[in-house]
Protein backbone atom coordinates (compact mmCIF):
# COMPACT_ATOMS: atom_id res chain seq x y z
CA UNK A 1 0.00 0.00 0.00
CA UNK A 2 1.40 3.40 -0.97
CA UNK A 3 1.79 6.09 1.63
CA UNK A 4 -1.07 8.40 0.52
CA UNK A 5 -3.86 5.76 0.52
CA UNK A 6 -2.56 4.43 3.83
CA UNK A 7 -2.74 7.90 5.41
CA UNK A 8 -6.26 8.35 4.00
CA UNK A 9 -7.35 4.97 5.36
CA UNK A 10 -5.95 5.81 8.79
CA UNK A 11 -7.86 9.10 8.69
CA UNK A 12 -11.14 7.39 7.74
CA UNK A 13 -10.81 4.69 10.40
CA UNK A 14 -10.08 7.32 13.03
CA UNK A 15 -13.14 9.33 11.97
CA UNK A 16 -15.27 6.19 12.07
CA UNK A 17 -13.89 5.43 15.55
CA UNK A 18 -12.54 1.99 14.67
CA UNK A 19 -9.31 1.86 16.71
CA UNK A 20 -8.93 -1.93 16.66
CA UNK A 21 -9.55 -2.01 12.90
CA UNK A 22 -6.97 0.76 12.54
CA UNK A 23 -4.36 -1.03 14.62
CA UNK A 24 -4.86 -4.50 13.16
CA UNK A 25 -5.69 -4.18 9.46
CA UNK A 26 -2.09 -4.43 8.21
CA UNK A 27 -1.17 -7.33 10.48
CA UNK A 28 -4.38 -9.24 9.70
CA UNK A 29 -3.88 -8.67 5.96
CA UNK A 30 -0.57 -10.53 6.17
CA UNK A 31 -2.07 -13.32 8.30
CA UNK A 32 -5.09 -13.77 6.03
CA UNK A 33 -2.88 -13.77 2.92
CA UNK A 34 -0.74 -16.53 4.46
CA UNK A 35 -3.90 -18.50 5.31
CA UNK A 36 -5.39 -17.95 1.83
CA UNK A 37 -8.40 -16.11 3.28
CA UNK A 38 -10.39 -14.01 0.84
CA UNK A 39 -11.30 -10.35 1.34
CA UNK A 40 -14.67 -11.18 2.93
CA UNK A 41 -13.04 -13.40 5.57
CA UNK A 42 -10.40 -10.73 6.15
CA UNK A 43 -13.02 -8.03 6.73
CA UNK A 44 -15.14 -10.34 8.88
CA UNK A 45 -12.15 -11.05 11.11
CA UNK A 46 -11.40 -7.34 11.53
CA UNK A 47 -15.05 -6.56 12.28
CA UNK A 48 -15.18 -9.33 14.89
CA UNK A 49 -12.01 -8.02 16.56
CA UNK A 50 -13.45 -4.50 16.61
CA UNK A 51 -16.71 -5.68 18.18
CA UNK A 52 -14.92 -7.72 20.86
CA UNK A 53 -12.66 -4.80 21.74
CA UNK A 54 -15.59 -2.37 21.74
CA UNK A 55 -17.43 -4.63 24.19
CA UNK A 56 -14.35 -4.73 26.42
CA UNK A 57 -14.03 -0.93 26.40
CA UNK A 58 -17.73 -0.53 27.17
CA UNK A 59 -17.43 -2.82 30.19
CA UNK A 60 -14.38 -0.89 31.41
CA UNK A 61 -16.33 2.38 31.16
CA UNK A 62 -19.27 0.89 33.05
CA UNK A 63 -16.99 -0.38 35.82
CA UNK A 64 -15.27 2.99 36.12
CA UNK A 65 -18.61 4.83 36.22
CA UNK A 66 -19.91 2.46 38.93
CA UNK A 67 -17.26 3.74 41.36
CA UNK A 68 -16.60 0.37 42.95
CA UNK A 69 -14.12 0.60 45.86
CA UNK A 70 -12.54 -2.55 44.43
CA UNK A 71 -13.38 -4.97 41.62
CA UNK A 72 -14.49 -8.37 42.89
CA UNK A 73 -16.27 -11.15 41.07
CA UNK A 74 -18.49 -13.91 42.41
CA UNK A 75 -15.95 -16.37 40.97
CA UNK A 76 -13.55 -15.32 43.73
CA UNK A 77 -16.14 -15.76 46.51
CA UNK A 78 -15.68 -18.97 48.49
CA UNK A 79 -19.23 -20.19 49.08
CA UNK A 80 -17.93 -23.10 51.20
CA UNK A 81 -16.82 -20.62 53.85
CA UNK A 82 -20.32 -19.09 54.01
CA UNK A 83 -22.77 -22.04 53.65
CA UNK A 84 -25.73 -19.92 54.79
CA UNK A 85 -25.54 -17.98 51.52
CA UNK A 86 -27.80 -19.49 48.86
CA UNK A 87 -25.29 -20.16 46.07
CA UNK A 88 -27.81 -21.23 43.36
CA UNK A 89 -29.88 -18.08 43.96
CA UNK A 90 -26.78 -15.86 44.02
CA UNK A 91 -25.49 -17.26 40.73
CA UNK A 92 -28.94 -16.95 39.17
CA UNK A 93 -29.03 -13.29 40.24
CA UNK A 94 -25.66 -12.80 38.51
CA UNK A 95 -27.52 -13.30 35.21
CA UNK A 96 -29.16 -9.93 36.03
CA UNK A 97 -32.67 -10.90 34.93
CA UNK A 98 -33.93 -9.42 38.21
CA UNK A 99 -32.86 -5.99 36.89
CA UNK A 100 -35.11 -6.44 33.86
CA UNK A 101 -37.96 -7.19 36.29
CA UNK A 102 -37.06 -4.18 38.51
CA UNK A 103 -36.53 -6.44 41.54
CA UNK A 104 -34.34 -5.68 44.56
CA UNK A 105 -31.76 -7.60 46.56
CA UNK A 106 -31.09 -7.26 50.28
CA UNK A 107 -28.03 -8.96 51.78
CA UNK A 108 -28.21 -9.33 55.54
CA UNK A 109 -25.60 -10.55 58.01
CA UNK A 110 -23.03 -9.56 60.62
CA UNK A 111 -19.95 -7.54 59.73
CA UNK A 112 -17.26 -9.40 57.81
CA UNK A 113 -19.48 -12.12 56.34
CA UNK A 114 -18.90 -11.09 52.71
CA UNK A 115 -21.97 -8.96 51.96
CA UNK A 116 -19.94 -6.27 50.20
CA UNK A 117 -18.06 -8.88 48.16
CA UNK A 118 -21.36 -10.35 46.96
CA UNK A 119 -22.75 -6.89 46.16
CA UNK A 120 -19.59 -6.01 44.22
CA UNK A 121 -19.76 -9.32 42.36
CA UNK A 122 -23.38 -8.72 41.35
CA UNK A 123 -22.52 -5.15 40.37
CA UNK A 124 -19.63 -6.34 38.20
CA UNK A 125 -21.90 -8.90 36.53
CA UNK A 126 -24.37 -6.11 35.74
CA UNK A 127 -21.61 -3.97 34.20
CA UNK A 128 -20.53 -6.91 32.05
CA UNK A 129 -24.07 -7.08 30.69
CA UNK A 130 -24.04 -3.44 29.69
CA UNK A 131 -26.11 -2.10 32.59
CA UNK A 132 -25.59 1.24 34.33
CA UNK A 133 -24.47 0.65 37.91
CA UNK A 134 -23.63 2.95 40.81
CA UNK A 135 -22.03 1.78 44.07
CA UNK A 136 -22.01 3.79 47.29
CA UNK A 137 -22.22 3.33 51.03
CA UNK A 138 -25.32 4.53 52.84
CA UNK A 139 -23.29 7.09 54.81
CA UNK A 140 -21.57 8.46 51.68
CA UNK A 141 -24.86 8.66 49.79
CA UNK A 142 -26.57 10.58 52.58
CA UNK A 143 -23.57 12.94 52.78
CA UNK A 144 -23.74 13.56 49.02
CA UNK A 145 -27.51 14.14 49.16
CA UNK A 146 -27.25 16.65 52.01
CA UNK A 147 -24.38 18.45 50.28
CA UNK A 148 -26.32 18.56 47.01
CA UNK A 149 -29.34 19.93 48.83
CA UNK A 150 -27.24 22.69 50.43
CA UNK A 151 -25.79 23.58 47.01
CA UNK A 152 -29.19 23.41 45.30
CA UNK A 153 -28.06 20.49 43.16
CA UNK A 154 -30.27 17.85 44.77
CA UNK A 155 -32.54 17.35 41.78
CA UNK A 156 -29.56 16.77 39.50
CA UNK A 157 -28.06 14.14 41.83
CA UNK A 158 -31.42 12.41 42.27
CA UNK A 159 -31.79 12.26 38.49
CA UNK A 160 -28.32 10.68 38.17
CA UNK A 161 -29.15 8.06 40.80
CA UNK A 162 -32.56 7.16 39.43
CA UNK A 163 -31.18 6.83 35.90
CA UNK A 164 -29.09 3.84 36.99
CA UNK A 165 -30.24 0.34 36.15
CA UNK A 166 -28.77 -0.81 39.46
CA UNK A 167 -28.04 1.23 42.58
CA UNK A 168 -25.95 -0.53 45.24
CA UNK A 169 -26.15 0.89 48.76
CA UNK A 170 -23.62 -0.76 51.06
CA UNK A 171 -23.41 -0.77 54.87
CA UNK A 172 -26.91 0.42 55.73
CA UNK A 173 -27.11 0.40 59.50
CA UNK A 174 -23.44 1.00 60.32
CA UNK A 175 -24.13 4.67 61.01
CA UNK A 176 -27.43 6.10 62.38
CA UNK A 177 -28.90 8.72 60.06
CA UNK A 178 -30.06 12.21 60.89
CA UNK A 179 -33.74 12.97 60.33
CA UNK A 180 -33.01 14.93 57.16
CA UNK A 181 -30.54 12.30 55.95
CA UNK A 182 -33.04 9.50 56.48
CA UNK A 183 -35.73 11.42 54.61
CA UNK A 184 -33.40 12.12 51.66
CA UNK A 185 -32.34 8.48 51.47
CA UNK A 186 -35.97 7.38 51.62
CA UNK A 187 -36.82 9.78 48.80
CA UNK A 188 -34.07 8.37 46.54
CA UNK A 189 -35.16 4.78 47.21
CA UNK A 190 -38.78 5.71 46.55
CA UNK A 191 -37.81 7.34 43.26
CA UNK A 192 -35.86 4.22 42.25
CA UNK A 193 -38.82 1.98 43.12
CA UNK A 194 -39.91 0.05 40.02
CA UNK A 195 -37.68 2.27 37.82
CA UNK A 196 -34.55 0.27 38.47
CA UNK A 197 -33.15 -2.23 40.96
CA UNK A 198 -31.47 -1.65 44.32
CA UNK A 199 -29.02 -3.85 46.20
CA UNK A 200 -28.73 -3.08 49.91
CA UNK A 201 -26.32 -4.68 52.37
CA UNK A 202 -26.98 -4.35 56.09
CA UNK A 203 -25.67 -5.77 59.32
CA UNK A 204 -29.09 -5.26 60.92
CA UNK A 205 -32.22 -7.42 60.67
CA UNK A 206 -35.31 -5.65 59.37
CA UNK A 207 -36.82 -5.15 62.84
CA UNK A 208 -33.83 -2.98 63.79
CA UNK A 209 -33.92 -0.68 60.76
CA UNK A 210 -36.01 1.80 62.72
CA UNK A 211 -32.86 2.54 64.74
CA UNK A 212 -31.21 3.72 61.53
CA UNK A 213 -34.07 5.79 60.11
CA UNK A 214 -35.39 6.98 63.46
CA UNK A 215 -39.03 6.65 62.41
CA UNK A 216 -41.30 3.63 62.36
CA UNK A 217 -43.46 5.28 59.70
CA UNK A 218 -40.51 5.96 57.39
CA UNK A 219 -39.00 2.51 57.96
CA UNK A 220 -42.32 0.78 57.33
CA UNK A 221 -42.91 2.70 54.11
CA UNK A 222 -39.37 1.97 52.91
CA UNK A 223 -39.56 -1.77 53.66
CA UNK A 224 -42.94 -1.92 51.96
CA UNK A 225 -41.33 -0.67 48.74
CA UNK A 226 -38.07 -2.60 48.98
CA UNK A 227 -39.63 -5.95 49.83
CA UNK A 228 -42.41 -5.77 47.23
CA UNK A 229 -40.12 -7.51 44.70
CA UNK A 230 -37.09 -8.72 46.66
CA UNK A 231 -34.50 -11.46 46.93
CA UNK A 232 -33.05 -11.92 50.43
CA UNK A 233 -29.48 -13.17 50.76
CA UNK A 234 -28.54 -14.23 54.28
CA UNK A 235 -24.90 -14.42 55.33
CA UNK A 236 -24.60 -15.69 58.88
CA UNK A 237 -21.72 -17.19 60.81
CA UNK A 238 -18.07 -16.50 61.50
CA UNK A 239 -16.37 -13.66 59.64
CA UNK A 240 -15.80 -14.57 55.98
CA UNK A 241 -12.67 -12.40 55.94
CA UNK A 242 -11.25 -14.21 58.97
CA UNK A 243 -11.98 -17.67 57.55
CA UNK A 244 -10.67 -16.72 54.10
CA UNK A 245 -7.46 -15.33 55.59
CA UNK A 246 -7.02 -18.45 57.75
CA UNK A 247 -7.51 -20.76 54.76
CA UNK A 248 -4.96 -18.83 52.70
CA UNK A 249 -2.36 -19.27 55.42
CA UNK A 250 -2.87 -23.02 55.61
Tens-digit pLDDT profile for residues 97-130: 999 999 999 999 998 899 999 999 999 999 999 9
The SS3 assignment for 37 reads: coil
pLDDT for 239: 67
Rounded distance between C-alpha atoms, residue 89 and residue 79, angstroms: 12
pLDDT for 26: 87
pLDDT for 237: 72
Please provide the DSSP assignment of 113-182 as one string. Answer: SSHHHHHHHHHHHHHHTT--EEEEEHHHHHHHHHHHHHTT-HHHHHHHHHT-SEEEEEEETSSPPPHHHH
φ/ψ of residue 171, rounded to 5: 65, 40
pLDDT for 194: 83
pLDDT for 243: 56
- Domain-wise residue ranges, the chain: 3-61, 67-248
pTM (two decimals):
0.85
Residues of the chain with pLDDT under 70: 1-2, 238-250
pLDDT for 11: 84
pLDDT for 10: 86
Q: Which residues are paired to 15 by β-bridges? A: none
**What is the CATH T-level fold of the domain 67-248, as seen in this structure?**
Rossmann fold (3.40.50)
Amino acid sequence: MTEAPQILLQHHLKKLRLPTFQGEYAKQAQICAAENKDHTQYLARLCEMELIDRERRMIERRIKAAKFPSTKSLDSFDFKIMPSLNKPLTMELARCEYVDRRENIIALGPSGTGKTHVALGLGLAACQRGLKVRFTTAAALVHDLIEAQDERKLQRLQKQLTSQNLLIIDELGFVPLSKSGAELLFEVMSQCYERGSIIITSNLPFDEWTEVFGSERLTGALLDRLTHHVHILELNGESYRLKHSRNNRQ
